[in-house]
Amino acid sequence: MWHIKVPATAANLGSGFDTLGLALSLSLDVWFSEAKEVSISVRGEGQGIVPEGPDNLVWRTAATLYREVSGKPIPPGRVTVKSRIPLARGLGSSAAAIVAGLTLANTLLPKRLSREELLAIATRLEGHPDNVAAAIYGGFILAWDDQGAIRVQNYPAPDLRCLLLIPDYRVSTEDARRVLPASVPIQDAVFNAQRLALWIDAVNRRDWSHLRQAGEDRLHQPYRQKLVAGMGPLIEAALSHGAAFSALSGSGPTILSLVPSERAMEVAQALTRAALEVIPGAFQLHDVTPSSFGAECVLDSWQWRRGGSRRRLQLGPGAWH
Ligand SMILES: Nc1ncnc2c1ncn2[C@@H]1O[C@H](COP(=O)(O)OP(=O)(O)O)[C@@H](O)[C@H]1O
Ligand SMILES: N[C@@H](CCOP(=O)(O)O)C(=O)O
């Protein structure tokens, strides 16, 4: 049986719209074993909501890639999808499902595609590179479009705790992209370029003292404010109680705060107090960590359960270890 694990991801990180991404320690897991017929079951987040037929995003993506590359239908099998990534909350659930599907197809293909090739396909399917790049490579990523080719630079994840304030309502990425303007004033573009540079300087020097400003943004958050009740007060509550960074996660509505361990309790309490005032309805507060691991596929067989070695496959050919 194959076990595929793909992390949740937070895209944008304030100033890095469609450019920065961070893998998180929440995951989408898929188990696959060959069988006579296809059967798909969905557990955890999305259970009862996402389809369990051939139109399931994980299976549809896997089947399409397999057929495109090999010219043959994907081998049928039993697929179990178990996710801890809430849907449409800005935590990359669709990116994780797409990357899981691509990883599954790549595992079954006789000749595997490279991570770069998978990134290009994943970006085309998701529409932007930031979530899928972080889901494939793990850690903190910077992605850019080089005349149609998607390039990525990845860095170790910041050694900070990550508090996710997740409201109980959904914001689809499609809707959240529709509220963005077609062009922005030059001053706003400069404002973001300066702050994006601060992010890259911070990860290069592992110094989080200017992250607060790296989180400031004029390209997407101001326009999305109307979709995310209490966005400003929640970010302010986290920053004024010791968070190094706080911003909308992806297209929202989750607010992500990066916090030194010793301030995590204080920030969590401040976020909870603010959320009770400004969020209409329920919310959850998750205490997770940035993750250095990207998508991986493991042969989950009886041999390793009995103490044999566990074979682990990072995406890309020749990467068994
Ligand atoms: N495990 C899954 N299996 C199938 N489809 C999924 C899965 N997870 C997410 N999706 C699809 O992705 C959609 C959410 O994507 P999106 O609006 O981009 O939000 P986000 O990626 O921020 O969670 C869901 O409504 C569903 O259609
Ligand atoms: N750069 C994208 C990121 C969307 O992330 P998601 O997790 O909300 O899908 C955007 O801001 O639209």
Neighbours of 274 (CB within 10 A): 21
What secondary structure, in 3-state letters, does 76-107 show? CEEEEEEECCCCCCCCCHHHHHHHHHHHHHHH
Q: What is the ipTM of this complex?
A: 0.97
Nearest to 165 by CA among 77, 72, 71, 230: 230
Note the maximum CA span of the chain: 62
- Rounded CA gap, 299 and 313, in Å? 8
pLDDT of residue 304: 47
pLDDT tens track of the chain, all 321 residues?
999 999 999 999 999 999 999 999 999 999 999 999 999 999 999 999 999 999 999 999 999 999 999 999 999 999 999 999 999 999 999 999 999 999 999 999 999 999 999 999 999 999 999 999 999 999 999 999 999 899 999 999 999 999 999 999 999 999 999 999 999 999 999 999 999 999 999 999 999 999 999 999 999 999 999 999 999 999 999 999 999 999 999 999 999 999 999 999 999 999 999 999 999 899 999 999 999 999 999 887 654 444 444 444 444 433 322
The model's pTM is 0.93
Q: What's the confidence (pLDDT) of residue 314?
A: 46
Ligand 2 centre to CA of 11 (Å) is 6
Please indicate whether residue 52, judged by its CB atom, sits closer than 6 Å to ligand 1. Answer: no
Nearest alpha-carbon partner for 124 in 145, 93, 100? 145
Is the CB of 314 inside a 6 Å radius of any atom of ligand 1? no
Q: Are 302 and 310 in contact (CB under 8 A)?
A: no
Residues belonging to the binding site for ATP are: 86-96
> How far, in Å, is the centroid of ligand 2 from the Cα of 320?
31
d(CA 300, CA 297): 9
Q: Which two tokens stand for residue 4?
A: 């595929």
Closest atom of ligand 2 to CA, residue 91: 7
> What residue's CA is closest to ligand 2, atom 4?
250
Cβ–ligand 1 contact at 50 (below 6 Å)? yes
Q: Which of helix, strand or coil describes residue 246?
A: strand
CB-based burial of residue 210 (10 Å sphere; 0-12 exposed, 13-18 middle, 19+ buried)? Answer: middle
The pLDDT of residue 308:
45
Contact of 270 with 278, CB cutoff 8 Å: no
Which domains does the chain show, CATH number per domain? Answer: 2-156+291-314 (3.30.230.10), 161-288 (3.30.70.890)
Spatial contact of 253 and 235, defined as CB atoms under 8 Å apart: no
> Distance from the CA of 172 to the center of ligand 1, in angstroms?
9
Distance (angstroms) between ligand 1 centre and the Cα of 82 equals 13
Q: What is the residue type of 287?
A: D
Q: What does DSSP assign to residue 320?
A: B
Q: Helix crossing, 93-108 with 130-137: angle to 10°?
A: 50
Q: What is the pLDDT of residue 301?
A: 61
**pLDDT value for 300:** 72
Q: What's the one-letter identity of residue 303? A: Q
The reported pLDDT for the residue numbered 135 is 98
Amino acid at 132: V
Q: What angle is formed at CA 312 by the lines to CA 308 and CA 317, rounded to 5 degrees? A: 135
pLDDT of amino acid 299:
84
Strands (E), 67-179: 77-83, 140-146, 149-155, 161-167
Q: Is 61 in the pocket of ligand 1 (CB under 6 A)?
A: no
